[in-house]
Amino acid sequence: MAKEVITPSILPGFMELLPADQIVFNNMLDTIKKTYEKYGFIPLDTPMIEKSEVLLAKSGGETEKQVYRFNKGDNDLSLRFDLTVPLARYVSQHFGDLTFPFKRYHIGKVFRGEKPQKGRFREFYQCDIDIIGNENLSVINDAEILSVIYSTFKALGFDDFTIRINNRKVLNGFFEGLQVSDKTEVLRTIDKLEKIGNEAVLKELEAIGLSKENSQRVLDFVGTKGSCRDIIKHLREMNFQNEMFNEGIDELELVVNYIDSFKVPSANYTIDLTIARGLDYYTGTIYETVLNRYPSIGSVCSGGRYDNLAQKYTTKKLPGVGISIGLSRLFYQLREAGILGEMKRATPSEILVIPMNGTMGNALEIATKIRDEGVSAEIYFNEGKIGKKFSYADKLGIPYVIVVGEDEVKSGIFKLKDMATGEQADLSVEQIIEKLKAQDNI
């Protein structure tokens, strides 16, 4: 009689990886974490479940619809949908215990009940950094954030990427000068420039209520091209009489001037007056990052400067600047694009130790010695044919194997087999450890 079993499955829109993929994913996560820490960002962890009344305070619209919200006992609970609202809550709640500027990173899962579609997940990792000031925050931080983006993608193994920056003061000041009534609508329209093209944007701008002349000026303005210094020069030469506009140019110039000192190559960043970032709360520098060979992926790292992180929770003015990498989505897209290459390693083990009849104790001692030196080692315990044991190493992508036979135990010399080349080398345990330690880790 067959037992009744339930078919194991997960929900659509949720990511679950097999070991080889998981290891690549974790390596990316670790790389991001290490880079963030190199810049002195402090790790933070907040609950995944928060009080709905706190988490969803004054929010609404699309966000609220996507939130996983439910009751347990008398509590109205919600799963966090980003890492920014929890940061605002955290900084307000623990204000007296924090030192400002407060630089934090947060890598964790967030939850959004969106319609599942290719590359969009309902539970996904965000990797955020933010620098929060108490009352004020130097614009040099905006240059540093650009440097963090550069270092992060460089460390992830990318060379050909561009960090696009812009400044909302320049945009807003310009629109103010043109007496555009609905800046937000204009910004949203500009955001679509790359997607829908000049003509369509012109039409949309006129539909919003801009004169034909002003629509054309908007398009000319956002179309300004050249080196960062060229663009700043051009903006200055516009001699546009608007305070906010000129303040924005000053900020852009300051970021550009300092970014050289961070040794970010000029090939990796540019001023792009077309980017606006939809979100209303950005008020200064804004960032997008594109992998130049894979433009269809869109921005892989975005963010910006805001005047007030936590007005929902405190009357203190907390300006900040930050970015976010949506790692689940990025990983998925890189894998789909075939950029991650063949993933051979499905284990952290550097070596498989195979005992023979009567040498189990010796095998355990050898593996223990190797592990004590910080090298990941595994022992094959099950009995069976030697071919099956080697095949285990092969399937998991363990790079080296030694067989612990009686002769080897007596002589203290083992044949270290390189599973990729098939080559064997006669080495002592100490020499094996030395060789494994010298290898690149996965």
Residue 98 or 425 having the CB closest to its own copies: 98
Q: Kindly identify the residues of this chain, within the stretch 263-322, that bind its own copies according to CB under 8 A.
A: 263, 310-315
Identify which of residues 202 and 346 has a Cβ nearer to its own copies in the complex. 346
- Binding flag, residue 157, its own copies (CB under 8 A): no
Q: Rounded distance, CA 429 to CA 272, Å?
A: 57
Does 130 belong to an annotated binding site? yes
Find the binder of its own copies among 32, 81, 83, 103 (CB under 8 A).
103
Strand 75-79 to 123-132 pairing:
unpaired
Which of 70, 160, 184, 278 lies at the binding interface for its own copies (CB under 8 A)? 70
- 341 lies in the site for its own copies, by CB under 8 A: no
Q: Which residues contact 396 (CB under 8 A, 6 or more apart)?
A: 19, 345, 346, 347, 349
Which residue, 65 or 203, is less far from its own copies as judged by CB? 65
DSSP string across 90-130: HHHHTGGG--SSEEEEEEEEEE--PPPBTTB-SEEEEEEEE
Show the tokens assigned to 234.
């051009």
| 382 makes contact with its own copies (CB under 8 A) | yes
Indicate whether 140 belongs to the interface with its own copies (CB under 8 A): yes
**Burial, 13: exposed, middle or buried (Cβ in 10 Å; 0-12, 13-18, 19+)?**
middle
- The response to whether 152 counts as a known ligand-binding position is no
9-28 residues near its own copies, rule: CB under 8 A = 9-11, 14-19, 22-23, 25-26
Q: Is 339 in the site for its own copies (CB under 8 A)?
A: no
Total interface residues for its own copies by CB under 8 A: 108
The answer on whether 315 is annotated among ligand-binding residues is no
Q: Does residue 361 contact residue 329 with C-beta atoms inside 8 Å? A: no
For residue 93, say whether it is annotated as part of any ligand binding site: no
CA atoms 189, 303, 305, 61: torsion sign:
positive
Is residue 378 within the footprint of its own copies (CB under 8 A)?
Answer: yes
**Contact criterion met (CB below 8 Å) for 39 and 148:** yes
Q: Work out which of 145, 186, 190, 396 binds its own copies, going by CB under 8 A.
A: 396
DSSP 152-194: HHHHTT--SEEEEEEEHHHHHHHHHHTT-S-HHHHHHHHHTHH
Footprint on residues 230-269 left by its own copies (CB under 8 A):
258, 260-263
Binding site for L-histidine, by residue number, is 82-84, 112, 126, 130, 277, 281-282
